[in-house]
A and B are shown apart, each in its own frame.
Chain A
């Protein structure tokens, strides 16, 4: 398969950057999108050009590192991560646009690599439980109701890839933050910090320069882990409850 790639190239954080066009031949449909980029990079290296920088790690859809915007969609046309997107979803002769996540809170480091440490600081503001560590607790010492466990697990699936922010017209991190808040706030282990968690994480989210939710719904559509849009309403509810409790 023969492709025309238009890829964002930016030498560093201060560089202006621009879209660059590459012709690439010999792409097999069973290749993943990242393998296609690897093939391009080998060709670029052979020609003595700088390879395209992109984030990747596990390549099995669970680490959340490999986020790029493909043809205007976070992680491309399939509801999965970029590493799990295969070239069979494209056709011979296609032109594919590849861009980094665009958000003020995710500055571009180089080419397609962005700095997502704003997410780490949101987690640091309350995305944890204060618990004794060292030895694993007895499994039945804290009973968890089935529905609470299901809610927590649904939200714990978030891999922090940032597709929600990249897809949102407001660059909002509400879906990410709500996944973390709802995960821990629905469990008894998270109960002691239920109020401070949501207040502090939302404060940090605002401080990082993410936008707000206008219910466009793009985040949940882009999410490779199916975090549902009503999670945001659930976080709003937790926030208002925490404010009422002081």
Chain B
């Protein structure tokens, strides 16, 4: 019996690779994945979910400010003692920082490379344009850049204290209050938190789709969850500067 195969395996894939690199199927699974668009999106999804998990904890921790300076400062101090005596003082914090920086770098590098491909794939715009995607979808790239720049500002403000009007180590409550007494501190923070909300709104659901969430019920739940996460995170983070501005926290 004759067996028809459309092509032999060596004919397939990668022949037209523009950069003249090795055909994809000769690469190991991890390198092959990193080269593919779905692989890079997977890196974005996993690193994004990691950062989102951190954001939820961070937001909940921020709310301790409503219980007064002692409790907030005590919480900030406790963060440095997690894992003791197994871990040395502040080691947990540094491990978390290394993991987060790795996530930020992986997320940003994948986003940059994927965006380059996306923009190159549509070199000519339509004369008759219609913007039909949602605002959150359209602002993912520049919203991400805004959030990234904010993280730098935020660290200089409340971690190193460099740009903080008070910037006194060991007094986070007083530093937070000082940060939100300046108009620019408030503007930067509010804009960045709105950007975070929009980014999470589209990003969380997209990450779930990248990781293969296909069941209809699950998708509805995840879509609702991304809206709830976006609203709760933004409201939770914004409650702090609003409280300082209105004098509820002083």
Seen from chain A, the residues whose Cβ lies within 8 Å of a Cβ on chain B are 6, 8, 19, 69, 71-73, 97, 99, 102-105, 121, 124-126, 128, 130-134, 168-172, 196, 199-200, 202-218, 221, 230, 232-241, 243, 246
Q: Which residues of B contact A204 (CB under 8 A)?
A: 12-14
Task: Enumerate chain B residues within 8 angstroms of A212, measured Cβ to Cβ.
Answer: 37-38, 40-41, 114, 117-118
Contact stretch, chosen from B84-92, B129-137, B187-195, B240-248: B129-137
Residues of A within 8 A of B212 (CB): 233-234, 236-238, 240-241
Distance (whole angstroms) from the CB of A51 to the closest CB of chain B: 21
In-complex Cβ contact of A171 among B18, B121, B128 (8 A):
B121
| Chain B interface size, under 10 / 10 to 19 / 20 to 34 / 35 or more | 35 or more
B25 within 8 A of A: yes
Q: How far, in angstroms, from A153 to B35 measured CA to CA in the complex?
A: 31
B17, B40, B119, B214: the one contacting A233 at CB < 8 Å is B214
Q: Cα distance A196–B14 when bound, in Å? A: 13
In the bound complex, residues from chain B placing their C-beta under 8 Å from that of A124 are 6-7, 12
Measured CB to CB, the closest approach of chain A to B199, in angstroms, equals 12
- B-side contacts of A246, CB under 8 Å: 29
- Known contacts A125-B12, A133-B4, A214-B206; is-contact A104 B123 (Cβ 8 Å): yes
- Inter-chain contact A232/B209, CB cutoff 8 Å: yes
Cβ–Cβ < 8 Å partners of A213 in chain B: 37, 41, 209
Cross-chain contact B17 with A97 (CB below 8 angstroms): no
B77 at the A interface (CB under 8 A): no
A interface secondary structure, majority: mixed
Q: When the two chains form the complex, which single residue of A121, A133, A205 contacts B2, counting CB atoms closer than 8 Å? A: A133
**Across-interface contacts of A243 in B (CB, < 8 A):** 29, 32-33, 39
Closest to B117 in A: A211
Question: How far is the CB of A21 from the nearest CB of chain B, in Å?
Answer: 12
Interface pair B13/A200, CB less than 8 Å apart? yes
User: Contacts of B38 on A, CB cut-off 8 Å?
Assistant: 202, 212, 235-236, 239-240
**What 7 A-B pairs are tightest by C-beta distance, nearest first?**
A237-B212, A211-B121, A171-B121, A170-B118, A211-B118, A97-B128, A72-B128
* 18 A-B contacts (beta carbon < 8 Å): A99-B127, A104-B123, A133-B2, A169-B133, A170-B118, A170-B122, A172-B118, A200-B25, A208-B16, A211-B122, A212-B38, A213-B37, A215-B205, A215-B206, A230-B214, A235-B38, A236-B212, A246-B29
Chain A: which residue is nearest B40 at the CB level? A212
A199 B25 Cβ-Cβ under 8 A: yes
- Does B211 count as interface, using CB distance less than 8 angstroms? yes
Chain B residues with Cβ below 8 Å from A232 are 209
Evaluate contact between B14 and A130: CB separation under 8 angstroms.
no
